[in-house]
Structure 1
Amino acid sequence: MMEQVFQVELPEWEPKETPQEGREKGSIRQVDNIGVNLIVRLGKKEMPVGDIAELSIGDVLEVEKKPGHKVEIFLDEKKVGIGEAILMDENFGIVISEID
Protein backbone atom coordinates (compact mmCIF):
# COMPACT_ATOMS: atom_id res chain seq x y z
CA MET A 1 0.00 0.00 0.00
CA MET A 2 1.36 3.31 -1.07
CA GLU A 3 0.77 6.55 0.78
CA GLN A 4 0.33 9.80 -1.05
CA VAL A 5 1.65 13.05 0.32
CA PHE A 6 0.05 16.34 -0.67
CA GLN A 7 1.46 19.79 -0.19
CA VAL A 8 -0.97 22.12 1.61
CA GLU A 9 -0.68 25.88 1.96
CA LEU A 10 -2.16 27.32 5.14
CA PRO A 11 -3.06 30.96 5.64
CA GLU A 12 -0.82 32.99 7.90
CA TRP A 13 -1.94 32.63 11.54
CA GLU A 14 -3.01 35.75 13.41
CA PRO A 15 -3.81 35.47 17.13
CA LYS A 16 -7.28 36.57 18.16
CA GLU A 17 -7.54 39.49 20.54
CA THR A 18 -8.01 38.60 24.17
CA PRO A 19 -11.27 39.60 25.93
CA GLN A 20 -9.37 42.36 27.75
CA GLU A 21 -8.16 43.81 24.45
CA GLY A 22 -11.72 43.74 23.13
CA ARG A 23 -12.93 45.81 26.07
CA GLU A 24 -10.16 48.33 25.56
CA LYS A 25 -11.21 48.75 21.95
CA GLY A 26 -14.72 49.77 22.93
CA SER A 27 -16.89 46.64 22.83
CA ILE A 28 -18.24 47.59 26.29
CA ARG A 29 -19.35 50.88 24.76
CA GLN A 30 -22.28 49.01 23.21
CA VAL A 31 -24.16 49.34 26.52
CA ASP A 32 -23.53 53.07 27.00
CA ASN A 33 -27.17 54.03 26.46
CA ILE A 34 -28.79 51.45 28.75
CA GLY A 35 -30.52 53.12 31.70
CA VAL A 36 -29.82 51.90 35.24
CA ASN A 37 -30.94 53.11 38.67
CA LEU A 38 -28.34 55.12 40.58
CA ILE A 39 -29.54 55.52 44.17
CA VAL A 40 -28.17 57.76 46.90
CA ARG A 41 -29.12 56.82 50.45
CA LEU A 42 -29.45 60.04 52.43
CA GLY A 43 -30.48 58.38 55.65
CA LYS A 44 -32.92 56.21 57.51
CA LYS A 45 -35.15 56.58 60.50
CA GLU A 46 -36.54 54.02 62.90
CA MET A 47 -40.12 54.68 63.96
CA PRO A 48 -42.84 52.78 65.79
CA VAL A 49 -45.50 51.32 63.50
CA GLY A 50 -48.14 53.46 65.24
CA ASP A 51 -46.26 56.66 64.31
CA ILE A 52 -45.89 55.48 60.71
CA ALA A 53 -49.63 54.81 60.52
CA GLU A 54 -50.29 58.41 61.57
CA LEU A 55 -48.07 59.99 58.89
CA SER A 56 -49.84 62.32 56.49
CA ILE A 57 -48.97 64.51 53.53
CA GLY A 58 -46.77 67.42 54.60
CA ASP A 59 -45.19 65.65 57.60
CA VAL A 60 -41.40 65.94 57.75
CA LEU A 61 -39.18 62.93 58.44
CA GLU A 62 -35.85 64.03 59.89
CA VAL A 63 -32.92 61.74 59.07
CA GLU A 64 -29.46 61.64 60.57
CA LYS A 65 -27.72 62.90 57.41
CA LYS A 66 -27.17 66.59 56.84
CA PRO A 67 -25.38 68.50 54.08
CA GLY A 68 -21.69 67.65 54.37
CA HIS A 69 -22.29 64.11 55.65
CA LYS A 70 -21.13 61.03 53.76
CA VAL A 71 -23.82 59.13 51.84
CA GLU A 72 -23.79 55.72 50.13
CA ILE A 73 -24.23 55.44 46.36
CA PHE A 74 -25.86 52.32 44.91
CA LEU A 75 -26.22 50.96 41.39
CA ASP A 76 -29.53 49.17 41.70
CA GLU A 77 -28.95 47.20 44.95
CA LYS A 78 -25.11 47.11 44.88
CA LYS A 79 -23.08 49.73 46.75
CA VAL A 80 -20.68 51.33 44.27
CA GLY A 81 -19.36 54.36 46.10
CA ILE A 82 -19.55 57.07 48.73
CA GLY A 83 -20.25 60.74 48.28
CA GLU A 84 -20.84 63.89 50.27
CA ALA A 85 -24.26 65.51 50.39
CA ILE A 86 -24.18 69.19 49.43
CA LEU A 87 -26.79 71.87 48.87
CA MET A 88 -26.94 73.29 45.34
CA ASP A 89 -29.30 76.26 45.36
CA GLU A 90 -32.59 74.58 46.33
CA ASN A 91 -31.53 71.00 45.58
CA PHE A 92 -29.28 68.37 47.10
CA GLY A 93 -26.21 67.31 45.16
CA ILE A 94 -23.67 64.56 45.75
CA VAL A 95 -19.91 65.00 45.40
CA ILE A 96 -18.43 61.56 44.67
CA SER A 97 -15.53 60.85 47.03
CA GLU A 98 -15.01 57.07 46.65
CA ILE A 99 -15.79 54.57 43.91
CA ASP A 100 -15.74 50.87 44.85
Structure 2
Amino acid sequence: MEQVKENNGNASTGNEAHIQSIQFSQLNTFNSPDLKDEGKRNLDLILDIPVPVSVELGHTMMLVKDILSLAQGSIVELDKVAGAPVDLLIRGKLLAQGEVVVVDENFGLKITNICASEERIRNLG
Protein backbone atom coordinates (compact mmCIF):
# COMPACT_ATOMS: atom_id res chain seq x y z
CA MET A 1 0.00 0.00 0.00
CA GLU A 2 1.14 3.47 -0.87
CA GLN A 3 0.26 6.50 1.23
CA VAL A 4 -0.54 9.80 -0.41
CA LYS A 5 -0.99 13.01 1.54
CA GLU A 6 -3.67 15.43 0.38
CA ASN A 7 -1.86 18.56 -0.61
CA ASN A 8 -3.39 21.18 -2.87
CA GLY A 9 -0.60 23.63 -2.30
CA ASN A 10 -1.56 23.82 1.39
CA ALA A 11 -0.01 22.31 4.43
CA SER A 12 -1.10 18.75 5.15
CA THR A 13 -4.25 18.50 7.25
CA GLY A 14 -3.41 15.05 8.44
CA ASN A 15 -5.99 13.42 6.12
CA GLU A 16 -4.22 10.66 4.26
CA ALA A 17 -5.69 8.53 1.45
CA HIS A 18 -4.63 4.91 1.10
CA ILE A 19 -4.29 3.76 -2.51
CA GLN A 20 -3.88 0.16 -3.57
CA SER A 21 -3.84 -1.54 -6.92
CA ILE A 22 -6.63 -3.91 -7.93
CA GLN A 23 -6.22 -6.94 -10.14
CA PHE A 24 -9.22 -7.75 -12.34
CA SER A 25 -9.90 -11.27 -13.52
CA GLN A 26 -9.95 -12.04 -17.24
CA LEU A 27 -13.22 -10.97 -18.89
CA ASN A 28 -14.98 -13.86 -20.62
CA THR A 29 -16.24 -13.12 -24.11
CA PHE A 30 -18.91 -14.79 -26.20
CA ASN A 31 -16.18 -16.49 -28.22
CA SER A 32 -16.22 -19.23 -25.61
CA PRO A 33 -18.28 -22.25 -26.78
CA ASP A 34 -19.82 -22.57 -23.30
CA LEU A 35 -21.06 -18.97 -23.32
CA LYS A 36 -22.39 -19.29 -26.88
CA ASP A 37 -24.39 -22.36 -25.84
CA GLU A 38 -25.68 -20.56 -22.75
CA GLY A 39 -26.69 -17.55 -24.86
CA LYS A 40 -28.53 -19.82 -27.30
CA ARG A 41 -30.35 -21.56 -24.44
CA ASN A 42 -31.38 -18.16 -23.02
CA LEU A 43 -32.63 -17.04 -26.43
CA ASP A 44 -34.59 -20.29 -26.81
CA LEU A 45 -36.53 -19.34 -23.65
CA ILE A 46 -38.10 -16.30 -25.34
CA LEU A 47 -38.58 -17.48 -28.93
CA ASP A 48 -42.21 -18.51 -28.41
CA ILE A 49 -43.38 -15.27 -26.77
CA PRO A 50 -46.04 -13.51 -28.90
CA VAL A 51 -45.16 -9.92 -29.82
CA PRO A 52 -47.53 -7.35 -31.40
CA VAL A 53 -46.61 -6.69 -35.04
CA SER A 54 -48.31 -4.00 -37.14
CA VAL A 55 -47.96 -2.51 -40.60
CA GLU A 56 -48.49 1.22 -40.82
CA LEU A 57 -49.78 2.65 -44.10
CA GLY A 58 -49.44 6.29 -43.07
CA HIS A 59 -50.56 9.06 -40.72
CA THR A 60 -52.78 12.09 -40.75
CA MET A 61 -54.10 14.73 -38.36
CA MET A 62 -57.82 15.38 -38.18
CA LEU A 63 -59.99 17.79 -36.28
CA VAL A 64 -62.38 16.21 -33.79
CA LYS A 65 -65.36 17.59 -35.76
CA ASP A 66 -64.04 15.86 -38.91
CA ILE A 67 -63.58 12.58 -37.04
CA LEU A 68 -67.15 12.79 -35.73
CA SER A 69 -68.46 13.36 -39.26
CA LEU A 70 -66.81 10.19 -40.65
CA ALA A 71 -69.30 7.78 -42.18
CA GLN A 72 -69.23 4.67 -44.29
CA GLY A 73 -67.61 5.60 -47.60
CA SER A 74 -65.61 8.53 -46.14
CA ILE A 75 -62.02 8.80 -47.35
CA VAL A 76 -59.15 9.60 -44.99
CA GLU A 77 -56.10 10.89 -46.84
CA LEU A 78 -52.74 9.71 -45.47
CA ASP A 79 -49.32 11.32 -45.65
CA LYS A 80 -47.75 8.58 -47.82
CA VAL A 81 -47.73 8.43 -51.59
CA ALA A 82 -49.36 5.38 -53.17
CA GLY A 83 -46.70 2.74 -53.81
CA ALA A 84 -44.33 4.12 -51.16
CA PRO A 85 -42.87 1.60 -48.69
CA VAL A 86 -44.95 1.00 -45.56
CA ASP A 87 -43.51 0.51 -42.09
CA LEU A 88 -43.39 -2.77 -40.18
CA LEU A 89 -43.56 -2.04 -36.46
CA ILE A 90 -42.82 -4.33 -33.55
CA ARG A 91 -44.43 -3.05 -30.34
CA GLY A 92 -44.71 0.34 -32.06
CA LYS A 93 -41.01 0.49 -33.03
CA LEU A 94 -39.79 0.48 -36.65
CA LEU A 95 -38.16 -2.80 -37.68
CA ALA A 96 -38.49 -2.90 -41.46
CA GLN A 97 -40.21 -1.46 -44.54
CA GLY A 98 -41.90 -3.18 -47.41
CA GLU A 99 -44.57 -3.36 -50.09
CA VAL A 100 -48.20 -4.26 -49.49
CA VAL A 101 -49.14 -7.49 -51.27
CA VAL A 102 -52.25 -9.67 -51.40
CA VAL A 103 -51.90 -13.24 -50.10
CA ASP A 104 -55.02 -15.25 -50.95
CA GLU A 105 -57.66 -12.77 -49.78
CA ASN A 106 -55.55 -11.11 -47.08
CA PHE A 107 -53.12 -8.23 -47.15
CA GLY A 108 -49.48 -9.03 -46.49
CA LEU A 109 -46.12 -7.29 -46.46
CA LYS A 110 -43.16 -8.11 -48.68
CA ILE A 111 -40.14 -6.83 -46.74
CA THR A 112 -37.80 -4.75 -48.88
CA ASN A 113 -35.62 -3.11 -46.22
CA ILE A 114 -34.67 -4.13 -42.66
CA CYS A 115 -33.18 -1.71 -40.15
CA ALA A 116 -29.53 -2.28 -39.22
CA SER A 117 -29.13 -4.70 -36.29
CA GLU A 118 -27.93 -1.95 -33.91
CA GLU A 119 -30.95 0.18 -34.81
CA ARG A 120 -33.30 -2.81 -34.43
CA ILE A 121 -31.97 -3.53 -30.95
CA ARG A 122 -32.19 0.17 -30.00
CA ASN A 123 -35.76 0.39 -31.37
CA LEU A 124 -36.92 -2.75 -29.57
CA GLY A 125 -35.34 -1.45 -26.37
Tell me the TM-score normalised to structure 1 length. Answer: 0.62
Per-residue deviation, residues 19-76 of structure 1 (Å, max 9, x unmatched): x4532x443011121111011101223323211111235544343454x431111110
Residue in 2 aligned with 1:11? none
Q: Structure 2 length as normaliser, TM-score?
A: 0.52
Task: Say whether the 8 Å CA contact 1:42–1:65 is kept in structure 2.
Answer: no
Partners of 1:90 and 1:55 in 2: CA distance: 26
Instruction: Tell me the secondary structure at the aligned position of residue 49 of structure 2.
Output: coil
State whether residues 82 and 98 of structure 1, in contact with CA within 8 Å, keep that contact through their aligned partners in structure 2: yes
Task: Please tell me whether the aligned partners of residues 39 and 73 of structure 1 are also in contact (alpha carbons under 8 angstroms).
Answer: yes
Counterpart of 1:77 in structure 2 is: 92
- Number of residues paired by the alignment? 83
Unaligned 5+ residue runs, structure 2? 1-31, 116-125
- What secondary structure does 1:17 align onto? helix
Q: Secondary structure of 2:48's match?
A: coil
Measured in 2, the distance between the counterparts of 1:62 and 1:73 equals: 20
1:84–1:95: 8 Å Cα contact kept in structure 2? yes
What is the aligned-residue identity percentage?
30
Stretches of structure 1 that go unaligned for 5 or more consecutive residues are 1-14
Contact 1:87 1:93 survives alignment (8 Å): yes
